[in-house]
Structure 1
Amino acid sequence: MPETRKIAAILVADIVGYSRLAGADEDRILARLRALRSDLIDPTIAVHHGRIVKRTGDGSLIEFHSVVDAVRCAIEVQNAMVERNAGVPEDRRIVFRIGIHLGDVVEESDGDLMGDGVNIAARLEGIAQPGAICLSEDAFRQVRARLDLAVNDLGEVQLKNIEQPIRVYSLEVGVPAEVKSATPTKPAAPEKAPAGLSPPDRPSIAVLAFQNIGGDPEQEYFADGITEDVITDLSKIGGLLVIARNSSFAYKGRAVDIRVVARELGVRSVLEGSIRRAGGRVRITAQLIDAETGGHLWAERFDRELSDIFAVQDEVTQRIVDALKIKLSPSEAARLDAVETTNSRAHDFFLLGRELLWGTIRNREAFGRSIDLFEKAIAEDPSYGEPFAGLAMAQILNWQFHWTDDWSQSLEKAERHVNLALQKSPQVAFVHYVASVFYLWKKDLDRSAVESDTALDLNPNFAQAHNARGIVNIYAGQPLAAVPHIEQAIRLDPLYKHQFIHFLGTAYLVAGKFEAAAALFKERIQLNPETDLSRAFLAVALGQLGEAEEAARVWRELMGINPKYSFAEHVGRLPFRNKADVDRLTDGLSKAGISG
């Protein structure tokens, strides 16, 4: 039988300190392990419909069709081990670490499993505390409504040999149910917002991720997608400050106090809701809450055919506008009435592709799957421009990360998709934002500026577009003009400032304000300890400040993180218009005695 590719829940477990236990009394530990397998572990796996793929001494690789089954199996085993270890001297206890991930795997002809799905589960097991269960975000999303124990949100963690950071949750066995954020030792996303962000004078809102209550975890993307569409529609209104998806989704799966959310994000109102999709029907409930009083400004339930989903989104947006007493300009009203597609299948495929493209895992596999989903959306509705923009963005990312062998041709492919997206959806901010990113990397800074300005005209609350406009100013030789745009991106997406603060530091660095730049790069390193780019530019700033010894220390850290890093290659790819700006960067390294 040839190899097959599939999605599976993978559980990896091993014994903490097995070598020490075996060294003390190998015969006894092997006998105890055999007994545990026969009367606890194997029966529990069978009850929860698991398949033991292989065992490697003290470790096990187990496949489940359901994440729920995998987690229940892990909880049962860990609880049983707490009981069995009671009264056993600590140095003789058998304690398991467990990692669980839902992902793509390859099944070999002999039944063995390989691929990223297995590798991520194994890395999660490696960082789990003794007696704990670590879940990836993809796995946690499937089970969070069914958990009966406490969860620590560890934030984003850079797992060994896994390209992109992955958000990790640690389950605490035997503790009452709740979800809480721990102070992570690895870079966390989101980071904590400044305490007591002041709301603006104008109306402001955060839209929390709608809960998927239909019982089908595969519909999670649909609930997220509808929430994001509501955020996008509200963001088109210039008189309303709308918090970006990243920051509002940071509270997903957590029991939160609306007043705390509003204070952390600096808004006056919060929208929350739920979605139930079953067959050809969808039920959406939504409630708009005044963050100061906790009272309802508006609440409603919609029961519709799935084909009416776009009309429901429009109604939700209009009800919020009415409740907040916002007066729309004619152009804003027209943008809210615009419909990109009436094909629900095309919209479904686009939502799935967008979820993959902006997900925590960015690799060749995710790239290929997102391409396939965007192409399916286009096949359903060839006039739908956003999937073409999705294809373009995927190709831009491929050009940056070199996922495929023909990555060098990716900008050419992206250009075709950008042009089609602009032709088909000229009134969509996302399309112009992607065009702005494309023209930036083509080093056409004037066109990039036009596209980001157009995106912001269509969506004044588009944090990524504000950042893009700031980046264009940096590379065009107007770094201080970039500062207000990047600061506004941080205001709109306060829990994810690590995405933008590097560019804020770069603006001050290019402007010759080296102390301000150094402070910002240091803050970025605190927020994202694995960054190499911010360390490189910090070394430049320190060199310009005459702090050669500190610059050298930072550079050693950088090379420890990325031994292949090349400053010349890095800066050579950046689309600076003025050679003097590049020379200032190189000069900073030279003053620090560093050859990049």
Structure 2
Amino acid sequence: MLPVVGNPLTGLSDRERMVAAKFAEGMTYREIGETLFIAPATVRTHLSAIYRKLDVRSKVALATLLADHRQQDLGQARSEGLSTDESGPPVVAVLPFDNLSGEERWTRIADGLSADIMVDLARFRDLAVIARQTMLSYKGRRDDVPSIGRELNADYVIEGTLQAEGQRVRICVQLVDAHTGVDLWTVRYDRSAENLFAMLDSVTENVINVLATCHGKLANLRRDAVRRKPPASLQAYDCYLLGLEQKHLFTRASNKEAIRLLARAVELDPGLARAWTALALGHAVDACNGFTNDVSASIESWSTCVKQALALDPADIHARIMLADLRALQGDIDAAVEEHDRVLAAAPNDADSLALLAGSLALVAGNPKQGYELAKRAIRLNPHTPWYFGMLGRCSFVLGLHRESLVALRQSAPDSPATLLFVAMAHAMLDETPQVAKITARLADEFPDFTPEVFISTYPVTNPVAITAIREGARCAGLS
């Protein structure tokens, strides 16, 4: 989102700022409409108001204005000695990639690859990405990374190279600490150039999801920095990051801590939409896993937080998935399916969204086979996030792939009662009695209020195929 304090762009509404930023990034009316869940005609109306308020006449002028004010804000932060580590999301600079081949056409392809990575990173609200117009001025410069970091007030720099020989292309990408010049992450792709654009899209999607998702490299680096702060100095964004981490551990204690941290985040910054979404997820986890003595209150809190998140940011994909599940919980399956379709159209390459949606399609409403494929795609995009495997395990179980379900669940949150439930049922369907007895005893001891029917009623599991599979698995495991 565009900066607010001390910025003349504050004459725009929140929605107008979103539209302006996305239009300047090069998105079409249709793409902006799909992302923000508004009609293309409404996008056109917003742009007319934006042009009038900012006194600009073209997309180029609008993009230049946004880039200029972005740089002014960064310059002011530098002059005041502010660190982005203290005030909000990390600032990322993507340098134009170097072409190590002799042909000029590969220079254009290298430029396009770095631009694609930059644009896709900018769509993550947990990152602040330096504008492309600014970064083009660094093309061909050989400054050391700390110098570039100081000039841009960036926390991290992404740089890369492209080298082509015949029909083979080697692409190397590095994430560098802009303060120290230390390499934090490096990857190399050796691919065929036979289908060039598909290859470039695949590389971009992988880089984005490994770096920018909720358990991506950048989020983990940021959390490590936050944990070094004294607890009393934590700000809203810090609490949000730490709360998100706790939520994804899926234990009773961790979820309680997640709700505490996320509630503190929205108390410090009531406008932090994604913290409201994460808080909604925390209350949903409480309800679905039997972590609470008052399921109705948890569902009500879940609903309240989702509404607040969407009021602040109608384009929050995770909030819309939560809304779909609430619609199913209220008995409106058709509305849930419509939300799922809109989410998939708006975020086809975001691993976090795909993994969340996979569980909803398999268990709530939709095609379990499609959910299974989405979960596998999320893991291909970023294989380092445990809860993705939990969603794959659930989808696999519903499809009757019990051995595959166990393989996935072993890589998921090991202490979650929902994970234990599916592990027990999968072993039962494979007639592995000793393993079933061990896990069901643990469920009875540690989670006496959690039952298959509690999970079905609160997840909510409304997909008939999933209901049948879970009830049969629970019967075989002696849990019904």
| TM-score where L is the length of structure 1 | 0.40
Q: Which has the larger radius of gyration?
A: 1
Q: Identify the structure with the greater helix proportion.
A: 2
